[in-house]
């Protein structure tokens, strides 16, 4: 446990409270400094706050070192925090020789504070959740704090490009960013300033990785010790089969995320042309879209999503892989990564080792979870892509009048298949629909059959322990194979010569039913709140499905929703990000499993 190496728990709690207070103070100063046209605080006050923060940070480190029973073990376990503190001190004392020294100091302090508070909050969340206490309530509180802070920053005058962003619109945008949905009531390209776009970028990154996973990475880096129960809880989040791998996996998550997003940024640098003028603008566009794609956020900096750059190959060969990797799940990526590492290591030993004696090292195998995710993902990319290609290029309204009338009745007037739909565009829609919410064409102009297929893909979503939403690919595969097992009269659900547990089948069924029920209830409620608008039932169901699955695609009705409708979509996005099983666990927290069973009796079904 974290407290076991200290002599006083009261002092430790006091230090934690001081950290929270200082974090709040710096956040306020940050808002007063950057959130208005001119700074609302004098430079002297800012310097005082900076000095206070440095004193608190240094005092905290040395207080912890003084309280530690073993100074050597503490220094060895917390070397990263001391290195980060040393870097902070260097930046604070050297910033005076650079331009914009106040901004450099404030950003440096903000990054360090974000590291500290996120690691501590995640550590507390994991500790409480591992003890069987309300983990969903803790997660809801963490998401709530992020949404509140994001809302306050988005309501600042500096966040709006054409006037202040209203309260409801700010809450909607912050929730959409934290839940990595991508639905917007204000155009990120036109109505949000560069400062506001930076806020959305930070919210996407924190919300996409999940604040708990992100914080656990920071907590491990900070040298905080986790108990076996806590490691098991984190392993469940990451879909691990052994808690002993937790430390390696969280390190893998951090390194993989940084490398993938950095690679995406570099590959996208030359994709913007005249849309991003200037070096900083090109870098910001590339970073924003790389993070948005990998975290499956779906936010964009151009009108019409990616339509202005639909002729660039980087849209298809960079953003598509980023979306797929982000929706694959860190557990699967770790499993595949260890297998690749094992293969390379064996090849290197055979080539460079002088000793030709081969030892029978156990080969790492592709786990059942990984096989299901990889095969299902491939099928859900290829099959729908060909379907979109057929639907959009062959089902012309002019050839089928009845089809046109049905389409207009369901998805509104003007809904027409587009004149040409290329293969790459079909692949992109197939990939983006399940998780990211990007589009290279007008979604509202797709045929009704394509829109129905999009809803199915959004409903399925990405994979477990990923940045994506939906019922997840594994759930979908288990339900399909359970039906196949029933047809074949098999007693167990079998996949890749393995049997899936009955509990997994039951959870999959619950997830599907809860998702479907939530979408139906939300659609009915939205139809009531928007009864004075001209939205069709298809548009309403598409919107609620997109919100619940955190996909972010829209037929274009989001900005015109009423205040009640926006509030309903906000709640739906949050419910979709938490997941149906989490909500069910929250509602049944105090229920205990029954210790008895009744006799079985056959019933007729079908």
Q: Per-residue pLDDT tens for 326-361? A: 888 888 888 888 888 888 888 887 777 665 555 445
Q: Give CA–CA dist 501/494, Å, rounded.
A: 9
Strand partners, 6: 68
Q: Give CA–CA dist 550/211, Å, rounded.
A: 16
pLDDT > 70 fraction of the chain, expressed in percent and rounded: 76
Q: Give CA–CA dist 81/75, Å, rounded.
A: 9
Range among 73-87, 163-177, 583-597 with highest mean pLDDT value? 163-177
Exposed e or buried b for every residue in 294-320, given b needs 16+ CB within 10 A?
bbbbbbbbbeebbbbbbebebbbebbb
Band (174; pLDDT cuts 50, 70, 90): very high
Out of 35-39, 240-244, 351-355, least confident range: 240-244
Q: Give CA–CA dist 41/59, Å, rounded.
A: 26
Which structure tokens are listed for 299? Answer: 């936010």
Range among 30-39, 126-135, 392-401 with highest mean pLDDT value? 30-39
Q: Per-residue pLDDT tens for 9-18? A: 676 677 667 7
How many CB atoms are closer than 10 A to CB 441? 18
Q: Per-residue pLDDT tens for 466-502? A: 888 889 999 999 999 999 998 988 888 889 889 998 8
Is residue 447 within 8 A of residue 391, CB to CB? The reply is: yes
Which structure tokens are listed for 355? Answer: 């000793």
522-541 average pLDDT score: 91
- E strands, 459-604, in order: 493-495, 498-500
Question: What is the average pLDDT value for the chain, to the nearest integer?
Answer: 79
240-244 average pLDDT score: 55
Q: Which whole-number Å values give the CA distances from 52 to 3, 48, 63, 296, in the listed order?
A: 26, 6, 16, 38
Residue 367 clears pLDDT 60, i.e. is over it: yes
Higher pLDDT pick, 126 / 571:
571
Is residue 182 within 8 A of residue 437, CB to CB? The reply is: yes
Which structure tokens are listed for 312? Answer: 């660039």
SS in 3 state form for 15-68? Answer: HHHHHHHHHHHHHHHHHHHHCCCCCCCCHHHHHHHHHHHHHHHHHHHHHHHHHE
Higher pLDDT pick, 2 / 273:
273
pLDDT at site 288: 93
Q: Which whole-number Å values give the CA distances from 503 to 500, 507, 509, in the listed order?
A: 8, 6, 10
pLDDT > 90 fraction of the chain, expressed in percent and rounded: 23
Its pTM stands at 0.83
Is residue 247 within 8 A of residue 220, CB to CB? The reply is: yes
498-500 and 493-495: which strand pairing? antiparallel
Exposed e or buried b for every residue in 22-49, given b needs 16+ CB within 10 A?
bbeebbebbbebbbeeeeeeeeeebeeb
H helix runs in 468-501, sequence order: 473-487
595-603 average pLDDT score: 84
């Amino acid at each position: 446990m974290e407290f076991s190496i200290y002599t006083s728990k009261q002092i430790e709690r006091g230090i934690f409270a001081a950290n929270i207070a200082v974090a709040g103070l710096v956040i306020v100063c940050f808002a007063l400094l950057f959130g208005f046209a001119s700074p609302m605080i004098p430079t002297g006050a800012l310097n005082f706050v900076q000095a206070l923060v440095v004193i608190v940070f240094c005092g905290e480190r040395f207080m912890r070192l003084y309280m530690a029973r073993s100074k050597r073990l503490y220094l060895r376990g917390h070397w990263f925090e001391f290195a980060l503190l040393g870097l902070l001190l260097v930046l604070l004392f050297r910033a005076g020789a650079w331009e914009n020294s106040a901004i450099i100091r404030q950003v440096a302090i903000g990054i360090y504070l974000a590291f500290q508070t996120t690691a501590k909050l995640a550590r507390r969340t994991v500790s409480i959740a591992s003890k069987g206490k309300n983990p969903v309530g803790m997660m809801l509180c963490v998401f709530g704090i992020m949404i509140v802070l994001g809302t306050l920053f988005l309501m600042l005058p500096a966040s709006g490009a054409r006037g202040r962003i209203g309260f409801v619109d700010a809450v909607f945008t912050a929730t959409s960013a934290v839940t990595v949905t991508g639905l917007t009531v204000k155009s990120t390209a036109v109505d949000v300033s560069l400062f506001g776009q930076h806020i959305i970028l930070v919210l996407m990154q924190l919300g996409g990785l999940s604040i708990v996973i992100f914080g656990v990475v920071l907590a491990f880096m900070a040298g905080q010790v986790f108990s076996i129960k806590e490691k098991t809880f984190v392993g469940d989040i990451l879909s691990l089969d052994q808690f002993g791998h937790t430390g390696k996996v969280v390190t893998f998550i951090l390194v993989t995320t940084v490398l993938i997003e950095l690679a995406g940024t570099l590959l996208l640098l030359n994709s913007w042309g005249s849309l991003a003028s200037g070096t900083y603008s090109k870098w910001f566009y590339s970073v924003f879209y790389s993070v948005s794609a990998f975290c499956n956020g779906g936010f964009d900096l151009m009108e019409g999503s990616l339509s202005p750059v639909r002729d660039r190959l980087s849209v298809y060969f960079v953003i598509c892989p980023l979306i797929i990797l982000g929706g694959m799940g860190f557990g699967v990526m770790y499993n595949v990564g260890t297998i690749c590492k094992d293969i390379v290591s064996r090849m290197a030993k055979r080539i460079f080792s002088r000793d030709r004696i081969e030892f029978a090292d156990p080969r790492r195998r592709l786990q059942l979870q990984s096989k299901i995710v990889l095969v299902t993902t491939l099928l859900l990319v290829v099959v729908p892509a060909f379907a979109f290609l057929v639907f959009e290029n062959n089902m012309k309204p002019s050839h089928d009048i009845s089809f046109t009338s049905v389409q207009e009745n369901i998805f509104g007037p003007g809904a027409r298949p587009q004149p040409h739909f290329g293969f790459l565009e079909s692949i992109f829609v197939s990939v983006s629909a399940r998780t990211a919410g990007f589009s290279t064409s007008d979604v509202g102009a797709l045929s009704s059959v394509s829109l129905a297929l999009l809803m199915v893909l959004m409903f399925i979503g990405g994979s477990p322990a990923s940045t994506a939403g939906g019922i997840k690919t594994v759930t979908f595969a288990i339900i399909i194979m359970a039906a196949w097992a029933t047809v074949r009269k098999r007693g167990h659900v079998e996949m890749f010569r393995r049997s899936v547990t009955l509990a997994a089948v039951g959870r999959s069924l619950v997830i599907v039913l809860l998702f479907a029920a939530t979408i139906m209830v939300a659609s009915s409620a939205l139809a009531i709140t928007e009864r004075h608008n001209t939205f069709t039932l298809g548009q309403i169901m598409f919107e609620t499905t997109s919100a619940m699955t955190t996909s972010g695609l829209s037929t274009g009705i989001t900005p015109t929703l009423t205040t009640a409708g926006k509030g309903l979509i906000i709640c739906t996005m949050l419910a979709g990000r938490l997941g149906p099983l989490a909500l069910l666990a929250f509602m049944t927290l105090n229920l205990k499993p029954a210790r008895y069973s009744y006799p079985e009796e056959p019933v007729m079904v079908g």
